[in-house]
Chain A
Amino acid sequence: MAGRPVEDRTQPLSSGAVNLLFAAPALVLFGCFVLLPVSSAFFYAFTHWDGYTAPRWAGFANFERAFTDTTHLMSYVHVVLYILGTLVFEVALGLGVAVLLNSERRGFSLLRGFYFSPMVLSMSAAGVLWAFVLDYRSGLLNSLLKALGAGDLAQPWLSQPSTALVAIMVVSGWKFSGFYMVIFFAALRRIPSSIYEAAILDGAGPFRRFFSITLPLLRQNVMVAMLLAITGGFAGFDLFFTMTNGGPFGATEVPATWIMKTAFDKNQLSYGVALTVVLAVVVMAISLVYLRFSERLNVHRY
């Protein structure tokens, strides 16, 4: 014991340029696939470029346009509405279903499987499937309404601005609530049953138990689920693309679909890239604010 050298904890574990060699492969990959595309995006955002001809320097023109482009600005309103919708149709519904199906009774695990099953489908497949269901003339929903004698309620769900965004929110809820259900279900299983037993002895009803025990103990999971829903919402593209492609008249236009349209449909790649830079900054800012906020919430004061 006496002969063992004393570890000098003031020295760094490693030092010297040679250590860069160990980091080099990761740095090269990071540089090639992250830094280079990001910096080239920043460059193109300051040019006029249609993707065919050589880019011309444009200064801040693309960014100035971005802040006067009403379709672009409204796309953020739509994505915020969509995120609020996903918090209800995905996170809250997932939580509700997880609580209701948190049982060992026969058949419940099969039910959980049913609720989770839409997750197996790709987003594009789900979008195409629901576009058929919601089709005005031959869709399942309108056919059902007509069969029930409520033909007057049949609507071109995806063709009118008043219903298209809500329709997408519902489909998104159908697709993802099962995913959040699984997250919450796993967390629910970790809550000791003794707490509920004590609450029942104290006369707490199901709602009181949910709001006083379940929800506070799931707070961490709810925060993660909300973060996933918010960042996922901003990145939302495939469901919008396959179901409405941003239409009708931009009523379901979200930043990602508008970026695709400007960049490729309208051959304005540099403007599309500038909008991507704006989106990246917005998502980064929201994530930082949210993480900061959620960290504060997790500090226990004694």
Chain B
Amino acid sequence: MKMAFRVAALATLLLSSPAMAQTELRITHATTGGGEKEVLDRIVADFQAANPDIKVTQIPFDDDVYSNTGLITQLQGQDVPDIYFQWAGFPVKRDADAGYAMDLSTALASDGWGDTFIPAMWTAGAGTMVHGKPYLVPISLDVTNTIWFNESIFEENGIKPPANWEEFVALTAKLNKAGEIPIVQGNNEFWPFGNWASHIAAKVVPPEEYAAAFARTGKFSTPGFMKAFEHIVELREAGGFNRDIQGLGADPAMATFLEGSAAMHPIGSWLIGSAKEMADADFRYSSFDTPVIDPAHPLAHSVIGTVTGFAIHKKAKNPDAAIRFLKFFTNSDNQKLRAESGALSPVKGVNEAANLDAQTKQMARMLAEAPAMVPPPDTTYPVAVAEAYYQAAAYVAAGEKEPADALSWLDETLAAMGKQ
């Protein structure tokens, strides 16, 4: 009996000891599909194999749900995630000020980890630093809006990527006349066209006027924004916007483009990952940046983009394991895998060494050659202000309001909102 008890106790100990010793590392993010998800799962599996004492639990959300309710509820919960995905800029500053994000100065200084990234990642403009300290480990560089086009449709209609805005409007009108859907946009959530409209404005409005309006020290009803909205009208009158623009979601719009039903689709560089999953093998596509509108403008050749990354929660149960994971995640090999799945890397030398597809190479070149990068307003200014601008731009695109009325509506809406 005594012997049997000892055997049973030993068996229980043997069976339970590995589970008891394992540390659970909880990671929440907004990567739910496409090539990036496959690579993420692979990196997690490799990390677990190399660190058998750590079990990684992923908590993924659709990106809209993640940014609206998914993250906020987790950050304030009892059982916080150790690592969470975040967009650089305003959200990182908010998290640092609210005490959710951990200061990563010490971690990045150890073993030269911080030096493995492109130096620009640790500048104020990158949105990873708050009060001079790093709070976000950058994991990818995203062009948040570029104009993807179907090469076959362009060839069939004898069209080439435009050199300037006038040519862009003209080719849109030509495609419309030919019975094609020139541009498909799903603006149900306002940000898809809003991002693009903010880049159009950034290329036209004097930079100080632009910043003052979004920071609410100035107004939107200015000649500069008026000019930007008039360019949207030009595009609308050329038949540039699909009739269901406001009812269509971002994902169905992308699917419409990837199935070959529309000539152009303005959206971010993440389309590359989705194309790998959704488009037919013979689907040929490429992109061009929003064409130059005013050659004299200082941001005439800018691209609109942002940095995304992982933050460690200040109350993470396993900060050491979190740092170990992020170092693994951002090593050259894993970043190369991510770059090859369509996510441009912020780590030195990776994009050059990776075997990138034509589209990712194009994004890398676009970022490298651009004299300036404009961040999207919803990662730079209070979300409510950015959203109001997006809605005003959508009014103009859909023909619901003329530019002057849309800008007045915008100023009145912000005034009614009070100080945020």
A residues near B, CB below 8 A? 48, 50-54, 61, 65, 68-70, 135-137, 156-161, 164, 244-245, 247-249, 264-268
Binds A, one of B10-18, B213-221, B240-248: B240-248
Chain A residues closer than 8 Å to B98, beta-carbon distance: 52-54
Flag if A266 contacts B383 (CB, 8 Å): yes
Considering only CB atoms, which chain B residue lies closest to A251 in the complex? B246
Max count, chain A CB within 10 A of own CB: residue among B94, B243, B247:
B247
Flag if B68 contacts A264 (CB, 8 Å): yes
Considering only CB atoms, which chain A residue lies closest to B401 in the complex? A249
Flag if A265 contacts B68 (CB, 8 Å): yes
With A264-B68, A268-B384 already in contact, the answer to whether A136 and B394 are too (CB < 8 A) is no
Interface string of B254-265 (1 = CB under 8 A from A): 001000010000
With A136-B247, A137-B244 already in contact, the answer to whether A249 and B68 are too (CB < 8 A) is no
Could you tell me which residues of chain B, from 238 to 296, have a CB within 8 Å of some CB in chain A?
A: 242-248, 256, 261
Task: Sort A-B residue pairs by CB-CB distance and give the 5 closest, nearest first.
Answer: A159-B247, A248-B246, A156-B244, A136-B244, A159-B244
Return 26 A-B CB contacts under 8 Å, by A number: A48-B420, A50-B94, A50-B420, A51-B72, A52-B94, A53-B94, A54-B98, A61-B418, A68-B416, A69-B416, A136-B247, A137-B256, A156-B244, A156-B247, A159-B248, A160-B246, A244-B188, A244-B247, A247-B247, A249-B391, A249-B394, A249-B398, A264-B69, A266-B383, A266-B384, A267-B382
Flag if B416 contacts A65 (CB, 8 Å): yes
When chains A and B are docked, how far (Å) is the Cα of A267 from the Cα of B68? 8
* Selected contact of A267 from candidates B95, B246, B384, CB within 8 Å: B384
Considering only CB atoms, which chain A residue lies closest to B72 in the complex? A51
Flag if A248 contacts B247 (CB, 8 Å): yes
Could you tell me which residues of chain B, from 66 to 119, have a CB within 8 Å of some CB in chain A?
A: 68-69, 72, 75-76, 94-95, 97-98, 100
With A48-B420, A245-B188, A264-B68 already in contact, the answer to whether A53 and B97 are too (CB < 8 A) is yes
When chains A and B are docked, how far (Å) is the Cα of A156 from the Cα of B186? 13
Chain A residues closer than 8 Å to B400, beta-carbon distance: 161, 248-249
With A52-B75, A65-B416, A268-B420 already in contact, the answer to whether A159 and B245 are too (CB < 8 A) is yes
Separation in Å of the B87 CB from the closest CB of chain A? 13
Considering only CB atoms, which chain A residue lies closest to B91 in the complex? A52
Flag if A137 contacts B261 (CB, 8 Å): yes
Chain B residues closer than 8 Å to A266, beta-carbon distance: 383-384, 387
Is B328 close to A, CB under 8 A?
no
Given contacts A48-B420, A65-B418, A249-B394, 14 further A-B pairs with CB under 8 A are A51-B76, A52-B75, A52-B98, A54-B98, A70-B416, A135-B244, A136-B247, A159-B246, A244-B188, A245-B188, A248-B247, A249-B391, A267-B384, A268-B420
Chain B residues closer than 8 Å to A158, beta-carbon distance: 244, 247
When chains A and B are docked, how far (Å) is the Cα of A301 from the Cα of B95? 67
When chains A and B are docked, how far (Å) is the Cα of A36 from the Cα of B375? 41
* Selected contact of A164 from candidates B247, B383, B416, CB within 8 Å: B247
Flag if B418 contacts A247 (CB, 8 Å): no
Max count, chain B CB within 10 A of own CB: residue among A53, A137, A244:
A137
Interface string of B374-390 (1 = CB under 8 A from A): 00000000111001000
Considering only CB atoms, which chain A residue lies closest to B417 in the complex? A65
Is B329 close to A, CB under 8 A?
no
Chain A residues closer than 8 Å to B69, beta-carbon distance: 264
Separation in Å of the B190 CB from the closest CB of chain A? 8
When chains A and B are docked, how far (Å) is the Cα of A266 from the Cα of B413? 13
Is B209 close to A, CB under 8 A?
no
Separation in Å of the B383 CB from the closest CB of chain A? 5
Separation in Å of the B389 CB from the closest CB of chain A? 12
When chains A and B are docked, how far (Å) is the Cα of A158 from the Cα of B98? 39
Chain B residues closer than 8 Å to A161, beta-carbon distance: 400
Is B395 close to A, CB under 8 A?
yes
Separation in Å of the A240 CB from the closest CB of chain B? 13
Is B402 close to A, CB under 8 A?
no
When chains A and B are docked, how far (Å) is the Cα of A65 from the Cα of B246? 26
Flag if B418 contacts A249 (CB, 8 Å): no
When chains A and B are docked, how far (Å) is the Cα of A51 from the Cα of B420? 13
Separation in Å of the A178 CB from the closest CB of chain B? 27
When chains A and B are docked, how far (Å) is the Cα of A51 from the Cα of B248? 29
Chain B residues closer than 8 Å to A267, beta-carbon distance: 382-384
When chains A and B are docked, how far (Å) is the Cα of A249 from the Cα of B94? 29
Separation in Å of the B3 CB from the closest CB of chain A? 50
Considering only CB atoms, which chain A residue lies closest to B385 in the complex? A266
When chains A and B are docked, how far (Å) is the Cα of A268 from the Cα of B384? 8
Flag if A159 contacts B383 (CB, 8 Å): no
Separation in Å of the A288 CB from the closest CB of chain B? 30
Considering only CB atoms, which chain A residue lies closest to B384 in the complex? A266
Flag if A245 contacts B416 (CB, 8 Å): no
Flag if B243 contacts A159 (CB, 8 Å): yes
When chains A and B are docked, how far (Å) is the Cα of A161 from the Cα of B261? 25
Could you tell me which residues of chain B, from 351 to 390, have a CB within 8 Å of some CB in chain A?
A: 382-384, 387
